[in-house]
């Protein structure tokens, strides 16, 4: 358990008038305890009262949970189910709470179980408590993210080496993920590889389509190091890029630079989006920029703030966000360039060390 983070969570809980945050397996629990169990159908919850902690856990995770979290554990057997353990944990914490905060991605059946035992309570999302705590990264978190980014960079380079006519998108994605793990990543949340017209689908999932000469390639990879995520997107071409492709790549590069110039503490996130969008719109491609400019990054691949045109939240020193403008021409190709950056007074620190040129494929072995 991170006692400093627990104290900050309790202070935030008191400030917002919440009586009981309930943390289920996921990134909020990992932030607080430095650990989270495997998420499955079994009910698992850390109850954070003002003056106590109680942990409801299936027996198979109880010993590890007790050691990693440091809370009093109320275990239950699979055959018994969690209801008796949950009742005992709530009784241990005193008067039943009136306002309960639960994780944004809590399973519906687990929410219904909590509501069954806390009929008097109103429920809200715990992100109102945890998102501001998680937004600004400390030095240890930033170091993990730099290492995570180095692993993602290795994945992109491996993708260019693997990309050649006749190889499938899936095979390129597998080569990228393997390189990230070889570089030390504990996991690879995503390795998106798109070829040819598939590059015009912003979140295309790699499939068995085989790469062909004289077509575009897009690679978007995120790795994890000590729980913290990276995110980077680069583009390549099998052969000599055609003139229009180079034109669009130049527009997206200028949009990215304009957005990076806007990244400073105290700047509303919408201004970063506007900076990128103005460049793309002026070039005549506005209708083909079909998503926000970026998002927060940390324990989750996507977390606040959301960098879109209506987001008034101010960037803060130590936040990590992505900046990823793109242009997508249906049936032809798409170009997206993405940097993960640390928000600093001196200007954004770009975590990736990869150039943003169009990579020639296949790259050097």
Phi, then psi, of 329 in degrees rounded to 5:
-105, 105
Co-location of 267 and 346 in the same domain: yes
Q: Report the pLDDT value the prediction gives residue 190, as an integer from 0 to 100.
A: 98
Confidence of residue 365 (pLDDT cuts 50, 70, 90): low
Confidence of residue 363 (pLDDT cuts 50, 70, 90): confident
Where does a domain end: 99, 134, 169?
134
Co-location of 29 and 163 in the same domain: no
Q: Report the pLDDT value the prediction gives residue 307, as an integer from 0 to 100.
A: 99
Report how far residue 181's alpha carbon sits from residue 174's, in angstroms, rounded to the nearest whole number. Answer: 11
User: What 3-state class would DSSP assign to 189?
Assistant: strand
* Cβ partners under 8 Å of residue 265, min gap 6: 314, 315, 316, 317, 343, 344, 345
Report how far residue 47's alpha carbon sits from residue 209's, in angstroms, rounded to the nearest whole number. Answer: 47
Q: What is the mean pLDDT of residues 33-37?
A: 95
Co-location of 190 and 331 in the same domain: yes
Q: Report the pLDDT value the prediction gives residue 195, as an integer from 0 to 100.
A: 98
Co-location of 149 and 289 in the same domain: yes
Where does a domain end: 134, 155, 181?
134
Co-location of 110 and 221 in the same domain: no
Domain, as residue range, for 49: 3-134
3-state secondary structure 155-179: HHHHHHHHCCCCCEHHHHHHHHHHH
Q: Report the pLDDT value the prediction gives residue 139, as an integer from 0 to 100.
A: 97
Co-location of 203 and 127 in the same domain: no
Where does a domain end: 108, 134, 160?
134
Q: Locate tokens 């950056």: which residue?
A: 341
pLDDT, tens only, 40-62: 999 999 999 999 999 999 999 99
Co-location of 83 and 221 in the same domain: no
Q: What is the CATH number of the domain that holds 122?
A: 3.40.350.10
pLDDT, tens only, 170-187: 999 999 999 999 999 999
pLDDT, tens only, 63-118: 999 999 999 999 999 999 999 999 999 999 999 999 999 999 999 999 999 999 99
Q: What is the mean pLDDT of residues 144-158?
A: 99
Co-location of 217 and 158 in the same domain: yes
Q: What is the CATH number of the domain that holds 287?
A: 3.90.230.10
Report how far residue 37's alpha carbon sits from residue 23's, in angstroms, rounded to the nearest whole number. Answer: 12
Please tell me the total count of domains within the chain. Answer: 2
Co-location of 94 and 150 in the same domain: no
Co-location of 240 and 348 in the same domain: yes
Q: What is the mean pLDDT of residues 336-342?
A: 99
Q: Is the predicted pLDDT of residue 242 greater than 90, yes or no?
A: no
- Over the chain, what is the mean pLDDT? 97
Q: Report the pLDDT value the prediction gives residue 72, as an integer from 0 to 100.
A: 96
Co-location of 195 and 228 in the same domain: yes
With a pLDDT cut of 90, the percent of the chain lying above it is: 98
Cβ-count burial 91-115 (b if 16+ within 10 Å, e if not): eebeeebebbbbbbebeeebbebbe
Give the side-chain half-sphere CA count within 13 A for 309: 9
Joined together, the tokens standing for residue 339 give: 């940097």
Co-location of 88 and 149 in the same domain: no
Report how far residue 221's alpha carbon sits from residue 235's, in angstroms, rounded to the nearest whole number. Answer: 12
Q: Report the pLDDT value the prediction gives residue 136, as an integer from 0 to 100.
A: 98
């Amino acid at each position: 358990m991170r006692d400093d983070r627990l104290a900050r969570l309790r202070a935030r809980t008191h400030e917002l008038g919440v009586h009981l945050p309930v943390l289920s397996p996921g990134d909020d629990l990992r932030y607080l305890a430095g650990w989270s169990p495997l998420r499955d159908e079994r009910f698992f919850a850390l109850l954070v009262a003002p003056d106590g902690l109680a942990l409801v856990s299936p027996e198979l995770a109880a010993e590890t949970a007790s050691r990693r979290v440091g809370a009093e554990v109320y275990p239950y057997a699979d055959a018994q189910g969690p209801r008796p353990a949950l009742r005992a944990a709530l009784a241990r914490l005193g008067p039943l709470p009136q306002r309960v905060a639960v994780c944004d991605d809590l399973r519906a059946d687990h929410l219904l179980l909590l509501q069954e035992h806390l009929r008097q309570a109103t429920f809200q999302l715990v992100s109102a408590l945890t998102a501001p705590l998680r937004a600004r990264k400390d030095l240890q978190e930033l170091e993990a993210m730099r290492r995570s980014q180095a692993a993602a960079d290795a994945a992109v380079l491996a993708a260019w080496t693997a990309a050649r006519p006749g190889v499938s998108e899936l095979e390129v994605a597998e080569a990228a993920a393997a390189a990230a793990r070889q570089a030390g990543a504990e996991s690879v949340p995503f390795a998106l590889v798109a070829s040819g017209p598939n590059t015009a689908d912003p979140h295309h999932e790699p499939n068995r389509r085989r790469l062909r000469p004289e077509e575009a390639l897009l690679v978007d990879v995120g790795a994890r190091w000590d729980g913290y995520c990276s995110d980077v997107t680069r583009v390549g071409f099998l052969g000599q890029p055609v003139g229009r492709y180079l034109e669009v790549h130049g527009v997206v590069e200028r949009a990215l630079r304009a957005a990076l110039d806007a990244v400073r503490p105290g700047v509303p996130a919408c201004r970063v989006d506007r900076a990128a969008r103005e460049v793309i719109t002026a070039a005549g491609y506005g209708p083909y920029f079909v998503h926000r400019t970026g998002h927060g990054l940390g324990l989750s691949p996507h977390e606040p703030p959301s960098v879109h045109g209506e987001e008034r939240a101010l960037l803060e020193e130590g936040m990590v966000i992505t900046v990823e403008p793109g242009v997508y021409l249906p049936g032809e190709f798409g170009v997206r360039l993405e940097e993960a950056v640390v928000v600093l007074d001196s200007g954004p620190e770009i975590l990736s060390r990869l150039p943003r040129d169009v990579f020639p494929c296949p790259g050097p072995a």
